[in-house]
Amino acid sequence: MSFQNSATAFSSGRDEAPFAIEELFFSRTDKRGVIASGNEVFRRISEYSWQELVGAPHKIIRHPDMPKGVFYILWERLKKGLATGAYVKNRAKDGRYYWVYAVISPIDGGYVSVRMKPSSKVFAQAQSVYADMLKREASEGLTPEQSAEKIRETLSGLGFPTYSAFSSYAIAQEMAARDAALDRADDGRLNSMKDLLPTLQNLETEQQKLFMTFAKIRGIPSNMRIVASRLEPAGGRFLQSLKTIG
């Protein structure tokens, strides 16, 4: 399976809210998607205060450039108890946008989302797919469910038989690109996963294993340190932010 490097993107109308590739941020919600907590990077980039964020629906940061079908797929999978990943364009309070690759996992009482800055070639193609689907939702009057099905069909045409196959490939590519940007050695487990993806008989199981190398989360903040130790070996700002809420 392969992605062509397409640079097609959205017309934002506003500037991008900057954050560094080494920064990770997370938020935790209840089962309805209402924000319960997060780290300081999340608050800073969103431009909201904690008083505005806690108790608000997570869609407070949703950008109108996002196809509704993407969220349909995410919620469909989460309600089945499956960790999942997606490229998401968010909007800060001041109107600026920021892209993330989000890994969302079910936890007791709700969900946790860990996000990083996307930088792989897959990201460029995903932007193109999203832009096309956003236009189709408007011109064809697609429901979220219909949009989700069209997204799956598009991904299938690109060589991904299931959304699981796509999201597994995307997270492997994003983590590899992040490691390269930070001048870190490749993770052999991820390289093996990328090689095996085309022939895996059980992509769903393998996807869950892959996600857990990024976000093996069963509580906040203690187990978030597992993620911090994997992605920021020296601790860094992410680990320090966890200590402030621990």
For the ranges 9-13, 103-107, 201-205, 228-232, the maximum mean pLDDT occurs at 103-107
- Inform me whether the pLDDT recorded for 191 exceeds 60: no
Bridge partners (DSSP) of residue 113 are 27, 104
In sign, the C-alpha dihedral spanning 178, 86, 161, 213 is positive
Q: How far separated are the first and last CA of the chain, in Å rounded?
A: 42
Per-residue pLDDT of 130-145, as tens digits, reads: 999 999 999 999 999 9
Give the per-residue pLDDT at 63: 95
- Inform me whether the pLDDT recorded for 243 exceeds 70: no
Per-residue pLDDT of 142-183, as tens digits, reads: 999 999 999 999 999 999 999 988 998 999 899 999 999 988
* Percentage above 70 pLDDT, the chain: 70
Bridge partners (DSSP) of residue 111 are 29, 106
- Inform me whether the pLDDT recorded for 93 exceeds 80: yes
> For residue 185, how many other CB atoms are within 10 A of its CB?
7
Lowest mean per-residue pLDDT among 74-78, 86-90, 240-244:
240-244
- What are the phi and psi torsion angles at 18 (to 5°)? -80, 145
Give the per-residue pLDDT at 97: 96
207 pLDDT band, cuts 50/70/90, is low
Sheet containing 110-116, strands listed edge to edge, beginning at the edge strand earlier in sequence: 35-38, 25-30, 110-116, 97-107, 84-91
Per-residue pLDDT of 2-59, as tens digits, reads: 444 333 344 444 699 999 999 998 899 999 999 999 999 999 999 999 999 999 999 9
What burial class does residue 18 get, using C-beta atoms within 10 Å of its C-beta: 0-12 exposed, 13-18 middle, 19+ buried?
Answer: exposed
More confident residue, 70 or 213: 70
For the ranges 74-78, 191-195, 224-228, the maximum mean pLDDT occurs at 74-78
Give the per-residue pLDDT at 233: 45
Which domains, from first to last, does the chain contain?
25-245 (3.30.450.20)
Give the per-residue pLDDT at 130: 96
